Chain A
Amino acid sequence: MEKIEVRGTAKRRVPGTSLRAITGVSASGNLEVLVERVMPDRECMVEVTTAVAGFGDIWRAVIEEFFERGAPGGLRFSINDGGARPDTVTLRLMQGVRLMETTK
């Protein structure tokens, strides 16, 4: 198991009041994301647990790009990875932000 942790800042606090959301599925080629509103308003963090070693730099690039594009201030994302490709990772993270914005 490889663990990757990336912290960043965001240009806004994600609106809404929901504290927790889950998206995705833990299956081969996919991933499950737990989103929690536990960070200071302009900070964010992603923790990845993956069985597929050797893609640390791509993970970091994907996550940093996501901090910019998704502006997930206040959120911590815990990823249980089943070997998902970067397109799926970005999609799930963006969906996690939207879930926190839209659900009560």
Chain B
Amino acid sequence: MATWHKQRDERQRRLEAAGRLATGKIVHAGDTKSLFEAVIRPGDRVCLEGDNQKQADFFAEVLAGVDKSIVHDLHIVQSGIVLQAHLDLFERGIARKLDFSYSGPQGAAIARALSAGKIELGAIHTYIELYARYFMDLTPNVALLAAVCADRDGNLYTGPNTEDTPTIVEATAFKSGIVIAQVNKIVDKVPRVDIPGDRVDFVVEADRPFYVEPLFTRDPANVTEGQILMAMMAIKGIYAEYGVKRLNHGIGFPTAAIELLLPTYGERLGLKGKIATTWALNPHPTLIPAIESGWVEQIHCFGSEVGMDDYMAARSDVYFTGHDGSLRSNRMMCQNAGLYACDMFIGSTLQIDLAGNSSTVTPGRIAGFGGAPNMGADSHGRRHPTDPWLKAGREASDGPAALTRGRKLVVQVLETFGEKMVPNFVEKLDSLELAEKLNLELAPVMIYGDDVTHIVTEEGIANLLLCRGPAEREQAIRGVAGFTDVGRGRDRAAVEALRQRGIIRRPEDLGIEILDANRQLLAAHSIEDLVTWSGGLYRPPSKFRNW
């Protein structure tokens, strides 16, 4: 007789094995290790919640310390490998296989562990690509979550940092998996139900609040005049040119400069209400002056940002908030908004090659992707028109207008040289060498050249949509690559011809007054200024305070 509920039976056995440790759904923090040893089986796919922001760090440390004769050879399927404990899982042999998205601070450690054969790598994904596989071939057997608080029925309040949780729970709970949450506090009644309790099997009150990385805070004091010049060019030559209203910004200083120029330079150009009104964006503190000046209609967030919670709660016309008042973020939904409802992505990168391929891999580091490849990609499933999307599509095509499809604007903004005079324009991406060395089937590329529409450097804007053929494209890229070897290798006549056709535009071609590229143009000059703009509602973490 065929049985059709082996997974449910297995789940039941595990719940029974853990039953003695729980009072209802509540398990004491000191019993967490025993709980894991009772419900996690060798070879399980486990999601230990953590992304570029929040971390189930208490669970991570406990899992790294389980008895490996009981729990071993796990297949880790999670967004972020960010904590030392995540690496310890592999060092100790508790986990063997890895499918992930983002590693940020552990980029070098992951590369070393791969070299040493400690990690069997599945693939490096974008966030939603990994989530998608949760519903196909990487469904977790066990999910270990982080939440702000829980009630005794297991209802979870994930608060402003909801992020990945609903997606992980959806995949695990509805496929007979086990869901366990670490919470900062067990309460009688949660402020709002982010995850219904019947999807949660166990709750542990951790010995400390879960960790959140303030990843999206850029101190205006560190914005350079070169970045201000690039920001002015982007606003005038791209935002205004295409009338971009719906967009996403990356994490770097050049886009922080753009945010800080909207209420000053943008205002002067008469662009308020015409550009940058509607966002898929983390809660960037540097956007506060634009919000307070009435530039921004609406923002949906992937996650939260340390110190921004009270400000966002007080600006519910702008942010998505629950009936309890606090922000509701959701990475899956926000990534989807970025894919299908943003007309532009603009972000920084570390390397661009002659075809416009863009990578953040540097020698010996695998930083992963996070969401950038999705934000920075044209979605071929999009079917609704907007002016910027259609204009970009027309620029890219020579054919008859009747069936011209639109294009998402994908803009890379970077200085031609990075730290220590390392050139950011290269003939060959470091990613290729890394892939060879680590035997990766696919070299990690953040944004493929055929998706990049514009490159902005201090030297000017290259519009790749208007280029015809790889040779023109190469000269357009060389033509904004400054004094790097790639830039100095340009064909000067070809670059001048591209400039005549408006494919390359210099600050002077855009009518930019170079004396305006001055820090006085920033709407805020310090974190303290941002606090003032927010009326005291923004409470920056101490590492950003110097007053």
Residues on B with beta carbons closer than 8 Å to the beta carbon of A61: 483, 488
Residues on B with beta carbons closer than 8 Å to the beta carbon of A86: 416-417, 482-483
Residues on B with beta carbons closer than 8 Å to the beta carbon of A62: 483
Known: A55-B421, A95-B515. A88 touches B483 (CB 8 A): no
The CA-CA distance from A98 to B457 in the complex, in Å, is: 21
The CA-CA distance from A55 to B488 in the complex, in Å, is: 14
* A55, A85, A90, most chain B CB atoms within 10 A: A85
- Once the chains bind, are A95 and B514 in contact (CB under 8 Å)? yes
Indicate if A102 sits at the interface (CB-CB under 8 A): yes
- Once the chains bind, are B416 and A99 in contact (CB under 8 Å)? no
- Once the chains bind, are B226 and A87 in contact (CB under 8 Å)? yes
* A55, A61, A91, most chain B CB atoms within 10 A: A91
Indicate if A58 sits at the interface (CB-CB under 8 A): yes
**CB contact list, B470-488 vs A, under 8 A:** 482-483, 488
- Once the chains bind, are A87 and B417 in contact (CB under 8 Å)? yes
The CA-CA distance from A61 to B517 in the complex, in Å, is: 23
Residues on A with beta carbons closer than 8 Å to the beta carbon of B421: 55, 85
The CA-CA distance from A91 to B506 in the complex, in Å, is: 12
The CA-CA distance from A90 to B460 in the complex, in Å, is: 12
Give the contact-size bracket for chain A: 10 to 19
- Once the chains bind, are B482 and A87 in contact (CB under 8 Å)? yes
Indicate if B458 sits at the interface (CB-CB under 8 A): yes
- Once the chains bind, are A85 and B415 in contact (CB under 8 Å)? yes
The smallest C-beta distance from A79 to any residue of chain B, in angstroms, reads: 15
Indicate if A4 sits at the interface (CB-CB under 8 A): no
- Once the chains bind, are A91 and B415 in contact (CB under 8 Å)? no
Indicate if A94 sits at the interface (CB-CB under 8 A): yes
Residues on A with beta carbons closer than 8 Å to the beta carbon of B514: 91, 94-95, 98
- Once the chains bind, are A87 and B515 in contact (CB under 8 Å)? no
The smallest C-beta distance from B456 to any residue of chain A, in angstroms, reads: 12
**CB contact list, A24-82 vs B, under 8 A:** 55, 58, 61-62, 65
Residues on B with beta carbons closer than 8 Å to the beta carbon of A99: 515
* A87, A98, A99, A102, most chain B CB atoms within 10 A: A87
- Once the chains bind, are B517 and A87 in contact (CB under 8 Å)? no
- Once the chains bind, are A102 and B515 in contact (CB under 8 Å)? yes
Q: Provide a sorted-by-A list of 10 A–B residue pairs whose CB atoms are within 8 angstroms.
A: A58-B483, A65-B483, A85-B226, A85-B416, A88-B224, A90-B458, A90-B459, A91-B226, A91-B517, A95-B514
Indicate if B170 sits at the interface (CB-CB under 8 A): no
The CA-CA distance from A91 to B507 in the complex, in Å, is: 11
The CA-CA distance from A58 to B225 in the complex, in Å, is: 21
Known: A55-B421, A61-B488, A62-B483. A88 touches B226 (CB 8 A): yes
- Once the chains bind, are B483 and A98 in contact (CB under 8 Å)? no
The CA-CA distance from A39 to B514 in the complex, in Å, is: 23
The CA-CA distance from A91 to B227 in the complex, in Å, is: 11
- Once the chains bind, are A87 and B488 in contact (CB under 8 Å)? no
- Once the chains bind, are B415 and A87 in contact (CB under 8 Å)? yes
